[in-house]
Chains A and B, each alone.
With several copies, the nearest count.
Chain A
Amino acid sequence: MSFVLSEDQQMLRDTAEAFARDEFAVSRLRGLRDAGANGVDAEAREKLAELGFFGVLIPEAHGGVDMGMVSMGQIMEMQGRTIAATPVLQTAVLGASLINMAGSEVQKSDWLPKIASGEITVALALDEGTHHAPLNVATEAEKNGQGYTLNGAKRFVTDGQHADLFIVVARTFGEAGQSHGLSLFLVPRETDGLSVQILNTVDSHGAAHLSLDDVSVGEAHVLGAADTAWETLERALDMGRIALAAEMLGTAQAAFEMTLDYLQTRKQFGQLIGSFQALQHRAAKMFTDLEMTRSCIAGALSAVDENRNDIAELASLAKARACETLHLVSNETVQMHGGIGMTDDHDSGLYLKRARVQEALLGGATYHRDRYAKLNGF
């Protein structure tokens, strides 16, 4: 594991930081929300593409810049700071890495350049229940003459409200709970039988429920070998969890800094509230959590680039710690701001709302604590 950024990585981090600060402030999300855009932001997407952010995990041969997970982590952390609504996690992390890892040469050259250029957005459609459970896939893919017929439903697919291409996890064999028998299908939005119910979510980032009724796709739409998608899927999920944890670190860090500023300006009883020791100790504990969680995320990011054998364990560590830290910080942010933090005009609420969505996506703290314990044999 490396905990020091290379020059390139540092440069990318600085770019992402400046971009988030100057063009991607929290006010942008607020504006999208008030305009009822439901998290869809075409202009931002263009800029992200110009900066090359969509291509960070894509080989140069397919139009990407191939800079790896540590670099992607810097982008995620910075977009997390301003709780920006972007398709980066679904499109540039999950979508790009799944196609890159499992796709045929044809599929790669068909889709990866379009992702890198920001021409299309992708969404992984996996969960069918209200809690992350990647093996509990009941959606069926039945072999027919020219390919497969898909039937089933997917819940709370983030970016589902605008994604051009869905990567649908379906079962070609076995039953819910089993890892063998899972397959990946590339399903364009306009495919017959695919209906999308758009959701207004608490974080104003939007999402969608999908239902697949006799959706028929050709052999060419099968991503990787049928029945055996699990290993690739789990690796991609772990990359997504680590990237999301990096985003959550940025969210927690920014909320913490906003709170720290308030502690240093707001007065009660003739004193700065930040001079009250009870608040000082709570702030110091948050800082301790943030620093330790930062280490877990930095380590997990570089573990992916080094292709270490403990990526699953480090991914669960990073996501669980990020959930715990952000949960604490988002609550303390509202509490330490007092009444003003309860008003819609203040950003505290936006951070709190986004936090719970980030916590739930790709598995919450209890999911990853359980997984971490299992990986450690108890």
Chain B
Amino acid sequence: MAFDAPSELESFRTEVRDWLEANCPEAMRTPLKDDEVVWGGSRETFKNPDSKVWLERMGEKGWTAPEWPTEYGGGGLNRAQAKILQQEMKRIKARPPLFSFGLWMFGPALLEFGNEEQKKRFIPDIVKGKTRWCQGYSEPGAGSDLAGLQTKCEDKGDHWLINGQKVWTSYADQADWIFCLVRTDSSVKHEGISFLVFDMATPGVEARPIKLISGSSPFCETFFSDVKVPKDQLVGKLNGGWTIAKRLLQFERSSISAGGFGGTGGSGILTPQEYAKQHVGVDETGRVADGDLRARMTDHMMFAKAFGMTVQRSTEQAKAGQEVGHTASILKYAAAKMNQDKCELIVEALGTEGLGWSGDGFADDAKKATRGWLRSKGNSIEGGTSEVNLNVIAKRVLGLREHQ
């Protein structure tokens, strides 16, 4: 903020306000519908045509990535200006123009670890939403133990040769490119991993959607057989991939902890206490009639409130330059518990109305809630299981040791 006199910031605010007024289509100021989310990339269909216009205009200004450098097509704004842009978009209820793992995960990592040529090559299309990226991390034998990955990458002189299998690749079937962890040295564990990017259209790449218990298929199994990758698509040092991987997991966990979880079930779903009032009823004092359910709902509400205040606290303390790693370490674990408890309470409050799968006889929001409840079971598994989170807290934060 030091760089901007309040007056300059205010004039920037007017500027932003006018631009949004002129460029944000009316339809993009309405609540985002589940099926109108824009992920970009070559397969994007823009169900709502206005969302195409909106993405193009925002991408042009680089405001899909407000704080990224202009030289790579970013907005080049500082923290204070970015905050103003955010506030002004919120004021007119503007939809986010783009959802993108490129923006949230790969981009930040590439800006930190990539070389100049790679940044120039990949960042602009992320900003404009032209390339959709997916993440090739987990493998059937390497889940919680990510560093146990086995996907082989051989140096064939003029190219890398990839053979192996990834799993839990988000939207791999929709993605244009993949950023991927591969094994370039099997004699060591963490030090034998490299970070590679390549085109999903490369011969030998196959992505098969995985159907989840919720019925949706946001993830794929991805197979690589003799996939040839140009040498210049190695990011960072050979065998230096684990450093980038850890950094990326931070981005992932913090974006997850911020509430960006699969499993709330989407729009139109009410709170547990609303459903309880409708389906269980209240007594003459206005209390939900089931005192047992009511107590557990209250416990959850308090947990959620405490979680929100903890996110706020660590944010403020970080801004004030204080060490917040300890506090932040609990967020992923707590966020998973919070969302899962909420979904369980909703299904419990709905009673038999929460036991529908498809077709007539069940309200749409109830069916969504049921699917969301099932999806939420993954929250304590994806992006690091709760067991791994607790290990990390115990060892790194509390300093408890392994068996000697």
Contact = CB atoms under 8 A, between A and B. Distances in A.
Interface of A: 1-4, 127, 129-132, 155-156, 197-204, 207, 209, 260, 263-264, 267-272, 274-281, 283-285, 287-288, 291-296, 298-299, 317, 320-321, 331, 334-335, 338-339, 341-345, 348-349, 352-353, 356-357, 360, 364, 366, 369-370, 372-374, 376-378
Interface core residue of A130, A197, A271 (most chain B CB under 10 Å)? A130
- Which label, helix, strand, loop or mixed, suits the secondary structure of the B interface? helix
B387 A287 contact: no
B351 interface: yes
Given A3-B313, A342-B378, A353-B374, A200 B401 contact: no
7 contacts: A3-B316, A4-B316, A197-B361, A272-B401, A281-B394, A317-B306, A378-B286
Nearest to B210: A343
A278 B138 CA distance: 23
Nearest to B279: A130
A170 B391 CA distance: 54
Contact of B360 (A197, A272, A276, A278): A197
Given A339-B143, A343-B212, A283 B350 contact: no
Nearest to A367: B290
Nearest to B330: A288
B305 A130 contact: no
A284 B394 contact: yes
A202 B143 contact: no
B204 interface: no
A-B pairs with the 7 shortest C-beta distances?
A349-B213, A130-B351, A280-B394, A156-B352, A284-B393, A3-B313, A295-B309
A364 B348 contact: yes
Contact of B309 (A1, A263, A275): A1
A281 B298 CA distance: 25
Nearest to A156: B352
B312 interface: yes
Interface string B175-218: 00000000000000000000000000000000000111101000
Contacts of A339: 138, 143, 167-168, 378, 381-382
Contacts of A349: 212-213, 374
A204 B351 CA distance: 17
Interface string B308-333: 01101100110010100011001001
Nearest to A157: B352
Nearest to B385: A338
B401 A298 contact: no
A374 B313 contact: no
Contacts of B27: none
B394 A200 contact: no
Nearest to A5: B320
Contact of B404 (A155, A272, A364): A272
A295 B361 contact: no
A287 to B, nearest CB: 6
